[in-house]
Amino acid sequence: MSPEPAGIVVVGASLAGLRGAEALRRGGYDGPLTLVGAEPHRPYDRPPLSKHVLAGALDAGATRLPELTALRARWRLGNTAVALDRAARTVRLADGAVLAYDKLLVATGAEARPWPAATGGGLTGIHTLRGRDDARALRAALVAGPRRVLVVGGGLIGCEATSCLRDLGLPVTLVDPHPTPLANALGTVVGGVIADRLRDAGAVFRPGTQVRAFEGDASGRVVRARLADGSAIEADLVIAALGATRATGWLRGAGLMADPGGLTCDGACRARDADGTPCPDIYAAGDAARWPIPLYGDRLVSVEHWGNAVAQASHAARNMLAGPGDQRPYAHLPAFWSSQFGINIKLVGLTAGADTVAVVQGSLAARRFLAVYGRGGRSIAAVSFDQARWLPAYAEAILTGSPVPPITDATDQPRIARADPGFPPPRRAAPAPSPAETAHA
Amino acid sequence: MPDDALFAAVTDPANRADPYPLYARLRERPVARQRDGSYVVSGHAAIRALIFDPRLSSEDLPPFRRPPTGNPIRDWILNPIRSRIASAHRPLIFRDPPDHDALRAAVMREFTIPRVQALRPRVVREVDALLDACRGRERICLVDDLSYPLPVSVICDLLGVPESDEPQFQTWATQLATALEPDARGDVETRRHTVAAFDAISDYMRGLIREKRRCPTGDMLSGLAAPGPGGRKQMSDFDLIATAILLLVAGHETTVNLITNAMLTLLRHPEELARLRADPERAPRLIEEVLRFEPPVHFRTRKALGAITLAGETIPKGAPIILLFAAGNRDPARFDAPDRFDPDRPDLEHFGFGGGLHYCVGAPLARIEAEIALVALSRRLVAPRLMHDPPPYRPGASLRGPEQLHIGIDGIA
Ligand SMILES: Cc1cc2nc3c(=O)[nH]c(=O)nc-3n(C[C@H](O)[C@H](O)[C@H](O)COP(=O)(O)OP(=O)(O)OC[C@H]3O[C@@H](n4cnc5c(N)ncnc54)[C@H](O)[C@@H]3O)c2cc1C
Ligand code: HEM
């Protein structure tokens, strides 16, 4: 009997891994297929974790992703990939197993940045939120009735969590170094709307300052936070929403361009080796990938967007099955949504580098609006607060590089004024691309 | 026929029975300028793009080939309903955001699924009574005997119009039926009647609303008249009257057409009628396919607030736009074999109920009414056969449907 072909190995069994595997089967791939996942769970969906699950409307276990295609795959769940040997074409797992591959899809996503141990990170009562188990633990802590919850970081997850906590009637303080929440993602002009909503909802917002350290009691439970401005906040439950780093540690030593900012790919989703040459047999998709985006001058980006994980995984799968002469470029207009404080927020495009924002429909005061971001006079992104129905028209305008505002003479259009969007100044300060500059920060 | 005269041909009653070949020609240019400066949009993708385009307005629709009498005051008084609608009584279907959204949100708060579901027994009862009344006859006119009276009594129930006032309501509904037809023609006399009916029903509604405020009865009008979230009025009394009349008008002839078109199509496809008789669960699929294949509303008009470039054509600012939903529904670029009636097709994204922000609020109700009527017709009409094919059509090109549908029967089961 001839040895079985090694087949395709997918590392990371979440959204990108699952949708990638399905696309391989739909694309006619009939060989062996293995999915490796560090978590013990079948692929599940993360967006509900910071929304319905925290709110108690959905059990953490009820988030399993629908499996849309018969996968006929071998699942290696609860097993972490720890090393990649490109020469031997093998992946080593934590349990010692070694998997051979013909082609590899890296879909290991990202992980929540933990609070540093040196400043209180080990204390009981400090939570992060990335996975189902995190959400379950956090939900249990909320039900136990904390006296005050401190949310550190006003990014999307920090804001969504704050919104849920207020719906539950819990006292909550949100601390963020910027003047408003969502400053990195949307700028302070738009972020100001969330700041107002947050306060209306009864949350305490402490802008422009940072938590320096947490202090615990004798039993090792968190009791207070010390802030950079010298003040303290008494809190017995903390959600550290500090952004995410890419789960690429297992690729160290493999000779790829991989760091906490992502695994760098070419435009066709192929991983680049340390010399920058695309590997014909290694692809990446989802939060883990960093790729050149043609619409934004081939700038390297990585995002934490559900829609990208789905689209990029199918695209990578398509290219994995195609010949070297038929590698299609990944053209994708980034987009994400968030729901918080009863507002449905959607963004298309990338705001990085925006020098202008203009409200083009509705009004900030009504908290129902559509705003366009511009850079050098061209539209690069658009955000809607409860106005998502118009986004396709603005997406089209972004794809064609229309001026700002791209659409005049619309219904419900205010007198259009351009403003500085108020992004925090050094957006590219960190030496390596930091999570703060990814689009879902 | 020149390309820029195709839509004029669509509005010509001579083409009412089968406008689809004209639509196919129009679709060769998904956005096509017509001689009068309007733009007909007939491709599925182009319609889809436009219903989500913020530059489209439903307000201040341009007058639609209204022949002037030469006397401006007379024109104003006798004019198609549209100019009346344009002033105080403009309902949400002719409004833009943000006003539209606020009014619509209030309606949606009341137009709940449980409330619609609760109307089922009433619809069943009504359909049975209407068919019972046809016993002993060898032929029925589906329009007169069932399709026409049914929707009005259902809307009366929904709104909370007392049963004793229903006959009056039926009369007004008939006089107002064409109010949403963009090409509302009719002679001076007809128009005078329509305007009078508007005034009468407005007065009636004003009284009814006062009544519902004093003593709410759990129906939709009571709900809309009650204070909204935050204790504020949900809408002005003017808007409340306009909304109530809109629900009557928008839910009337449309539903008549749906039931009639569905039965006409089934009689033309007897195998489908037989399958429905054997399996009433097929009704929802059949209805969806009728909404694609023979929709009750063929087009709606808009105005371009700004220049819009689409499918290689630039619609200039201010131009009237005709969203030809019924042509998009048969776009071969979207649907396989679009001219085939096939209730089992997998892709049913039709524009039967429009789309975008003006998507029909009454869709769930219309579906229930049509479903119950079709199942009853398939079971109770004994050996039904079409007496005239094509049947005579009403003049409207937008709200297109048979004026009469004579069906020969061997009895009512
Ligand atoms: C709380 C929360 C809310 C969100 N809300 C939204 C939203 O509203 N809208 C939106 O657009 N996006 C949202 N996102 C982002 C979205 O969920 C992510 O973009 C998406 O999950 C990315 O999918 P992925 O498969 O690339 O990565 P992940 O979902 O992170 O999955 C990676 C998987 O790989 C596993 N893994 C990691 N390392 C290894 C290894 N070495 N070996 C084996 N397995 C490994 C991980 O355990 C994980 O299961 C949210 C994310 C979170 C956490
Ligand atoms: C078969 C039956 C029906 C059909 C085919 C139909 C079709 C439509 C269409 C195409 C529109 C969009 C108009 C536009 O875009 O300009 C619409 C809007 C509307 N319909 Fe229906 N309709 C039906 C039944 C009903 C019923 C039963 C009701 C209410 C009782 C109703 C109430 C409305 C209202 C209020 C609007 C305006 C919504 C808005 O402007 O936001 N309709 N309908």
Residue extents of the structural domains in chain B: 3-408
Residues in chain B: 413
* Residue to substitute from B50, B51, B53, interface A, most A β-carbons within 10 A: B53
pLDDT tens, residue by residue, B363-411: 999 999 999 999 999 999 999 999 999 999 998 899 999 999 999 999 9
Mean pLDDT, consecutive 10-residue stretches, chain A (441 aa), reads: 79 98 98 98 98 96 94 97 98 97 98 96 97 98 97 98 98 98 98 98 97 97 97 98 98 97 98 98 98 96 98 98 97 97 98 96 95 97 96 95 92 92 71 39 37
pLDDT tens, residue by residue, A177-208: 999 999 999 999 999 999 999 999 999 999 99
For residue A30, give the H/E element and its range: none
Give A55 to chain B, closest Cα distance, Å: 23
Q: Look up the pTM and report it.
A: 0.89
Interface of B with A in 357-376 (CB under 8 A): 357
Q: What is the pLDDT of residue B183?
A: 53
Beta carbons within 10 angstroms of residue A425's beta carbon:
6
Structure tokens at A33: 């297929």
Q: Any residues with CB less than 8 A from the CB of A76 and at least 6 apart, and which?
A: A34, A35, A36, A37, A93, A97, A99
Beta carbons within 10 angstroms of residue B388's beta carbon:
11
Residue A157 burial (CB < 10 Å; 0-12/13-18/19+)? buried
What Cα–Cα distance (Å) separates residue B137 from each residue in B6, B83, B143, B358, B392? Answer: 43, 44, 15, 42, 21
Q: What is the pLDDT of residue B66?
A: 46
**Cα four-point dihedral sign B138, B395, B339, B364:** negative
Is B80 a residue whose pLDDT tops 70?
no
Q: What is the pLDDT of residue A1?
A: 46
Q: How many CB pairs under 8 A join A and B?
A: 46
List the alpha helices (DSSP H) in A201-300.
Answer: none
Q: How far apart are CA A329 and CA A312, in angstroms?
A: 10
Q: How far apart are CA B226 and CA B105, in angstroms?
A: 14
What Cα–Cα distance (Å) separates residue A294 from each residue in A267, A299, A330, A391, B146? Answer: 8, 7, 9, 21, 60
- Whether residues B98 and A412 touch (CB distance < 8 A) is answered with yes
Mean pLDDT of B296-307: 95
pLDDT tens, residue by residue, A415-438: 999 999 999 986 444 433 333 334
What Cα–Cα distance (Å) separates residue A413 from each residue in A372, B60, B90, B97, B305? Answer: 13, 16, 20, 9, 11
Mean pLDDT of B290-317: 96
ipTM associated with this complex: 0.80
Q: CB within 6 Å of ligand 2 — which residues?
A: B 58, 92-93, 104, 155, 246-247, 250-251, 254-255, 258, 296-297, 300, 352-354, 358, 360-362, 365-366
Q: What is the pLDDT of residue A252?
A: 95
Go through the domains of chain A in sequence order and give each one's CATH number. 8-111+245-326 (3.50.50.60), 117-242 (3.50.50.60), 335-419 (3.30.390.30)
Give A345 to chain B, closest Cα distance, Å: 17
Of B54, B97, B307, the CB nearest to A393: B54
φ/ψ of B70, rounded to 5, equals 100, -15
Cα A341 to averaged position of ligand 1 atoms, centre (Å) = 23
Cα B92 to averaged position of ligand 2 atoms, centre (Å) = 11
Is B67 a residue whose pLDDT tops 50?
no
pLDDT tens, residue by residue, B176-200: 876 666 555 556 677 777 778 888 9
Q: What is the pLDDT of residue B386?
A: 97
Q: How far apart are CA B314 and CA B249, in angstroms?
A: 34
Is B62 a residue whose pLDDT tops 80?
no
Q: How far apart are CA B404 and CA B141, in angstroms?
A: 6
Is B354 a residue whose pLDDT tops 90?
yes
Greater model confidence, A129 or B228: A129
φ/ψ of A231, rounded to 5, equals -85, 175
What Cα–Cα distance (Å) separates residue A352 from each residue in A183, A344, A423, A426, B217? Answer: 11, 21, 9, 11, 55
First CA to last CA across chain A, in angstroms?
Answer: 52
CB B43, CB B328: distance < 8 Å: yes
- Domain B3-408: which topology? Cytochrome p450 (1.10.630)
Of B52, B57, B307, the CB nearest to A411: B57
Mean pLDDT of B65-76: 47
Q: Which residues of A touch B97 (CB under 8 A)?
A: 361-362, 411-412
Q: How far apart are CA A25 and CA A21, in angstroms?
A: 7
Q: Which residues of B touch A408 (CB under 8 A)?
A: 306
Q: Which of B207, B177, B169, B182 is nearest to B194 (CA)?
A: B177
Instruction: List A272's β-bridge partners, or say none.
Output: A278
φ/ψ of A36, rounded to 5, equals -110, 125
Beta carbons within 10 angstroms of residue A226's beta carbon:
16
Q: Any residues with CB less than 8 A from the CB of A372 and at least 6 apart, and which?
A: A357, A358, A360, A379, A381, A382, A394, A397, A404, A405, A406
Q: What is the pLDDT of residue B60?
A: 64
B254 CA to centre of own chain: 3
Residue B76 burial (CB < 10 Å; 0-12/13-18/19+)? exposed
List the alpha helices (DSSP H) in A123-275.
Answer: 132-143, 156-167, 183-200
Give B163 to chain A, closest Cα distance, Å: 40
Nearest CA in chain B to A389: B52
Q: Which residues of B touch A366 (CB under 8 A)?
A: 98
Is B343 a residue whose pLDDT tops 50?
yes
